[in-house]
Amino acid sequence: MQGLFMVPERVIFHIDVNSAYLSWEALELLKQGSNIDLRTVPSIVAGDPSKRRGVVLAKSIPAKKYGIITGEPVVKAVKKCPAVKIVPPSHDVYARYSKAMTDLLYSFTPDIEKYSIDECFIDVTGLKLKYKNDFLSLAYLMKNRIRDELGFTVNIGISENKLLAKMASDFKKPDRVHTLFREEIQEKMWPLPVSRLFMVGKASNAKFQVMGIKTIGDLARTDVVLLEQKFGKYGRMIWEYANGIDDSAVQTQESEAKDLSNETTVEFDITDRETARLYLLSLSETVGMRLRKAGLYAGVIAVNLKNSNFESYSRRKKIGNPTQDTNVIFKTAIELFDTVWRNDPIRLIGVATSELVREPVEQLNMFDNLLIKQSERKKLNESIDKIREKYGSKYIVRGSLLNFSKDSNKDTE
């Protein structure tokens, strides 16, 4: 027994860092000698704080009390709280803390799917015997080790599938563990506003309101045929989600032999290139890290997008030399994004790789100023990662990322 419930055949954890960007910025500044913990004052992470442009990417709990929300323009946030402290995003910092969390979790099990830079799914089914089916204690052990050893807090959701685990982790925050088994859906999930259901955006929420669907329970009890007639495949999917139905597997490296990707669904609409660029950089770093860890090289890179109406589209490119280099992945992703984006609001953004190989056939480019071979590039990436992990992101920065930052600023001037 797990509490009042029988332990299901499969047990999945979803781990979500609380206010990840804000928490990691706070920790980094404290390490550098700051006497202010950003988590204790009204503060936000946002693009170009000097010009107060862009959108809020993360907020502190004190900032939330002023009504500041993720995804709103910085100008609007400043009007709500003129004294709010604004810090720019530092992706290298986030990648370092994210990797530290993943490494800690690998000490428990290799069955981990890195969902985004601040989220992951863990299939802990194989730990049933070791932890005697006491998955609550295991979740608290993971959560507390992350807090005590790494300095930031997470929420952990526990269920029998990924969807319900993710929904559970979004319950009361911060630093909490929640369960959401099938027996608990009616009590814990159905009373929530339908907008809280995973994959329900502003556009679909507005349509649900017109239909009289106010809560997740209302959606679960709606005739699925009616939903399919009105929304197509999305109608069936969202009805299944409302009823807690999801059989997707935790995508560990072993199950990703043919392709390797990372995507994230954002809680606000991405409407500008700079914000999209930050997400692409985050995703590219994660994909590159996973390729290097698996010893794989990608021959094809793709960008996948889904707009607020849940229309999906993508663009892919075959590259000359298979790669696991973050810079190459990021450059290609930006190029593909600029080509394919329709300037519509984005709710899901992803970077995917395919045609993976173990030992790529190398073709040197005579115009490559450094003429670094693939094996040397790998060593360079590993060296950069080690320096960042030990000394921080400001001591070494990829030149190509600096160039992209400059280009992006030109586009938003």
Q: Which of the four pLDDT bands, split at 50, 70 and 90, describes residue 89?
A: confident
Q: Which of 25, 28, 119, 263 is catalytic?
A: 119
CB 167 within 8 A of CB 16: no
How do residues 43-60 score in pLDDT, each as one tens digit?
999 876 565 567 888 899
CATH 3.30.70.270 residue ranges for the chain: 1-188
Q: What integer pLDDT is reported at residue 238 of this predicted model? A: 94
Q: Which of the four pLDDT bands, split at 50, 70 and 90, describes residue 395?
A: very low
pLDDT > 70: percent of the chain: 82
The C-alpha atoms of residue 275 and residue 268 are separated, in whole angstroms, by 11
Mean pLDDT across the stretch 346-371?
69
Residues whose CB falls within 8 Å of the CB of residue 390, separated by 6 or more in sequence, listed in order: none
The C-alpha atoms of residue 393 and residue 154 are separated, in whole angstroms, by 23
Q: What integer pLDDT is reported at residue 367 of this predicted model? A: 44
**Residue 342 phi/psi, 5° resolution?**
-95, 10
Q: What's the pTM value of the predicted model, to 2 decimals?
A: 0.70
Q: What integer pLDDT is reported at residue 48 of this predicted model? A: 65
CB 128 within 8 A of CB 11: yes
CATH 3.30.1490.100 residue ranges for the chain: 256-377
Residues 295, 301, 307, 309, CA torsion sign: negative
Q: Where is pLDDT greater, at 203 or 215? A: 215
Taking the CB of residue 110, how many other CB atoms lie within 10 A of it? Answer: 12
Average pLDDT over the chain reads: 83
Q: What integer pLDDT is reported at residue 320 of this predicted model? A: 83
Q: Which two tokens stand for residue 290?
A: 């996973």
CATH 1.10.150.20 residue ranges for the chain: 190-242
Catalytic-residue membership of 119: yes
The C-alpha atoms of residue 343 and residue 149 are separated, in whole angstroms, by 42
How do residues 312-325 score in pLDDT, each as one tens digit?
899 999 998 899 88
5 pLDDT higher than 70: no
CB 52 within 8 A of CB 75: yes
The C-alpha atoms of residue 298 and residue 325 are separated, in whole angstroms, by 9
Query: Check: CATH 1.10.150.20 for 190-242?
Result: yes
Q: Which of the four pLDDT bands, split at 50, 70 and 90, describes residue 149?
A: very high
Q: What integer pLDDT is reported at residue 182 of this predicted model? A: 93
Q: Poorest-confidence range of 84-93, 194-203, 306-315, 401-410?
A: 401-410
Q: Which numeric CATH code is attached to 1-188?
A: 3.30.70.270
Radius of gyration of the CA atoms of the chain, in A? 22
359 pLDDT higher than 50: yes
How far separated are the first and last CA of the chain, in Å rounded?
Answer: 59
Residues whose CB falls within 8 Å of the CB of residue 98, separated by 6 or more in sequence, listed in order: 117, 118, 286
How do residues 21-80 score in pLDDT, each as one tens digit?
999 999 999 999 999 999 999 999 987 656 556 788 889 989 999 999 988 888 899 999
Q: Which of 279, 203, 283, 204 is nearest to 241 (CA)?
A: 204
Mean pLDDT across the stretch 11-28?
94
The C-alpha atoms of residue 12 and residue 166 are separated, in whole angstroms, by 9
365 pLDDT higher than 60: no
CB 324 within 8 A of CB 292: yes
Q: Which of the four pLDDT bands, split at 50, 70 and 90, describes residue 408?
A: very low
Mean pLDDT across the stretch 219-223?
97
Q: What integer pLDDT is reported at residue 405 of this predicted model? A: 39
Q: Where is pLDDT greater, at 50 or 357? A: 357
* 256-377: CATH superfamily: DNA polymerase, Y-family, little finger domain (3.30.1490.100)
Q: What integer pLDDT is reported at residue 177 of this predicted model? A: 98
171 pLDDT higher than 50: yes
Q: Which of the four pLDDT bands, split at 50, 70 and 90, describes residue 104?
A: very high
Q: What integer pLDDT is reported at residue 287 of this predicted model? A: 85
pLDDT > 90: percent of the chain: 51
Q: Which two tokens stand for residue 163?
A: 């969807």
Which H/E stretch holds residue 216?
A: helix 216-220
